[in-house]
Every structure is written in structure tokens, then in C-alpha cells.
Amino acid sequence: MERLGRACRACVDHARLQTSEARFTELVSTVPEVIFEGRIDSDDRLVFEFISARATEVIGLDDQTLLSNPSALIERLDADEEWALRRTLAGARITHEAFEHVVRLNHDELAERWLLIAGNPREQASGLRWSGLIQDVTARQRLLASEREIARLQLSALLGAVGDAVVGADASGRITHWNRGAERMLGYPASAVLGHSLTMIMPERMRSAHERGMAHHIATGKTRVLGRPVELPALHAAGHEVEVELVTGRYNQIRLHFAHSGWPLVGDRKYGKFKQDPFRFPRVALHARRLEFAHPRSGAPLVVEAPLPEDLALLRERVFSVPLKAPRKRREQPPPS
């Protein structure tokens, strides 16, 4: 009798499971995103154990292909995109934390298609599994790209109007920006220098020192010339040297300007003196109350206001309630007897 009861309960549970699976499949089919469940293997690939049929429309691969071939999605990425995705998945596999990553598919039929892949971990008896979605974010990425291009054009126009020479470079030392002031000063047109190393505008005797300094800066984040004017020779296109005053650096943060002026922001752990801060505020005490700027497309004036957050309001009360220390009074010595 007991064995029969267990068998009956198993049949009921199986029927409920089939009903639940049917309802789940029906629900998933109405969602515009691709729903998946799977694991991250030792090769840092997302191995799908379930994926909705919407994959054919969003990814360009049917669900059976993705279920049977763990490399199917990766094969549609170029080398850089594959490396970035594997790095994200490796981090999620090691930390057991949620992940979110945007990839660009490299396929002729899916030109400029961008996918958002997001997953959340879930412990099961068989091990850690990931449930998540894959969403087509091509329109969003195109909008971001157009906004970045508008910002780049605005910056180029601004720097082009500056009389001084403005030269920009990436982390590898390749020239990324060259304004008209640089053309007038050093004689090179922008087309001749963009994409080339900064060493081309340096005398040969200084190039090795520059390369060592760049390598040291990339490795340690430290440099002796960042944010300080330095006089040195530059190489003109005609072959002669020009004495220039070089001001280089990334000192574009307000809190860094304050720190170098001797007034670090409260709560600034990176540039301030947090251990000597009597308030030990848990974040940088910086707030933008009001911003005014022109819309990048329409040119219409925009005003954005934000009230002071509660934690900053409490900090302000604490700051102004601290009394100033009065100077110590000198103890009067008794007159000699």
C-alpha cells in the first residue's frame, strides 16, 4: 500500500510538472527577449541547457543549434569580442555573481547587431546554474554611437578654436587628436600624424626615455610630468627643433584640483587624507545642485536641478556644528617671592 501511494504521488507530481512546463513554454514564447538557462564551463563558454525559440529571431541561430554546440554563439564574434565575453563569463564563474555584457555579432546577414547577455546565478543540486536573457540592443548602441560622435565633433570644434597646440594620445602612445594649433606650431597636418606614435614629434635622443616613462606609467599609474608644465624640444616637420612648454595629464577631476590646492574633499579616499578626516564620510562629498547646458542636437537650453541628498545635508550640519578650537591661554606665572 505504501509503495502504491508513492507511485500515485509521483504520477501526480509528473502531471503537475508537465503542466508547469507547458505553461512556462507558453509564457516564454510571448517574451521579446531570449530566455536561457545553462552553465559556464571551464573554457568560459555559456553552455545552454534551455533556450527559448526566440533565439532564431534575435541571435540568428535556432535553439537546437545553440543547445548542441556550446561554441555556436562565440563563433559569431570576432577575436576581441570573444575575448571580452570570455573574460566576463570567467569573472562570473569565479565570483558566482550576476553578469551583464554587450557583444557585437560578426556576421554578414546580421550587420551591426548588438546583443545584451545578462545572467543571474542559481544554486541547484547539480551545481551552479545561470538563468538570464539575451536582448537585441542594436538601436540603443547606434544611438549611443551617434551621441559619442556628436560629442567628438563638438570637442574637435572646441579644441580647433584654441590657439595653443592640443595633442591627444591613447594608452599605447598613438596620436588620436591634432588641432590646428599643433599644425601651426609643428608643421604637420593632422593626416600625417593621426594614428602614429608620439615619438615622431620628438627628437631621436628623447624617444627611448619617453617609451620607458610610458611603460612605467602604464605599469604603475605614476609619472613625474603629469599635470606639471615642462619645457622641452619638439621636432618640427621641417626637421628643426622647437622649444615648447608641455602641459600633460588627466587632471580633469574637480576633487583632484581641490587636493592639489591643499583642500581635499571630505570622504575622498583616493586623493584626500581620509585617515585624517574627522568626519570619515563614506563617499566623496561632492554634489552638483544645478546644471545648465545646450541640448546636443536641438541646441535648446536644458536645466537640471537636484536637491541636496540626505547624507550630505547631515554632513553639512555636522561641519557647521563643530566649534573652532580657541587658542590656549598662557598660564600666568606667580611673581617671584
For 119-149, the pLDDT digits (tens) are: 998 888 878 888 889 999 888 888 888 877 7
Least confident of 20-24, 67-71, 283-287: 20-24
Q: Is a pLDDT exceeding 90 seen at residue 176?
A: no
The answer to whether the beta carbons of residues 172 and 159 sit under 8 Å apart is no
How many Å apart are CA 203 and CA 49, to the nearest integer? Answer: 60
Exposure pattern of 288-327 as b/e (b: 16+ CB <10 Å)? eeeeeeeeeeeeeeeeeeeeeeeebeebeeeeeeeeeeee
The answer to whether the beta carbons of residues 232 and 241 sit under 8 Å apart is no
Which pLDDT tens digit goes with each residue over 246-269? 776 554 566 666 776 677 888 877
DSSP single-letter state for residue 334: P
Specify the pLDDT at position 15.
Answer: 45
How do beta strands 167-169 and 46-51 pair?
unpaired
At 24, the pLDDT band (50, 70, 90 cuts) reads low
At 318, the pLDDT band (50, 70, 90 cuts) reads confident
Average pLDDT, integer, range 3-7: 40
At 5, the pLDDT band (50, 70, 90 cuts) reads very low
Instruction: Give pTM, 2 decimals.
Output: 0.47
- Listed in sequence order, the residues at least 6 apart from 9 whose beta carbon sits closer than 8 Å to its beta carbon are none
Query: For 331, what's the count of Cα atoms within 13 Å in the CB-facing half-sphere?
Result: 2
Average pLDDT, integer, range 47-75: 88
- Give the residue among 80, 81, 79 at the shortest CA–CA distance from 102: 81
Q: Helix, strand, or coil here: 246? A: strand
Specify the pLDDT at position 147.
Answer: 78
Mean predicted lDDT score pLDDT of the chain: 77
The answer to whether the beta carbons of residues 295 and 302 sit under 8 Å apart is yes
**Domain spanning 7-140, CATH architecture:** 2-Layer Sandwich (3.30)
Cα dihedral: 222, 228, 232, 234 (round 10): 80
CATH 3.30.450.20 residue ranges for the chain: 7-140, 162-246
Which pLDDT tens digit goes with each residue over 179-214? 888 999 999 998 999 989 989 999 999 888 888 887
Specify the pLDDT at position 48.
Answer: 92
Q: Is a pLDDT exceeding 70 seen at residue 53?
A: yes
CATH of domain 162-246: 3.30.450.20
